[in-house]
A = this chain, B = another copy of it.
Amino acid sequence: MGDVEQAVDEEILRALASTARLDILRWLKDPAGNFGRQEIGDFDVEGVCVSVIQDRAGMSQPAVSAHLKILHQAGLVTRKKIGNWHFYRRDELAIRRFLDTLSTAL
Task: List residues of chain A with CB under 8 Å of any chain B CB.
Answer: 8, 10, 13-14, 16-17, 19, 22, 25-26, 95, 99, 102-103, 105-106
Chain B minimum-CB-distance residue to A14:
B17
22 contacts between A and B (CB under 8 A): A8-B22, A10-B17, A10-B19, A10-B22, A13-B13, A13-B16, A13-B17, A13-B22, A14-B17, A16-B17, A16-B106, A17-B17, A25-B106, A26-B105, A26-B106, A95-B106, A99-B99, A99-B102, A99-B103, A99-B106, A102-B102, A103-B103
Chain B minimum-CB-distance residue to A8:
B22
- With both chains docked as a complex, state the minimum distance between the C-beta of A24 and any C-beta of chain B, in angstroms: 12
Residues of B within 8 A of A26 (CB): 105-106
Given contacts A99-B103, A103-B103, 17 further A-B contacts (CB under 8 A): A8-B22, A10-B17, A10-B22, A13-B13, A13-B16, A13-B17, A13-B22, A14-B17, A16-B17, A16-B106, A17-B17, A26-B105, A26-B106, A95-B106, A99-B99, A99-B102, A102-B102
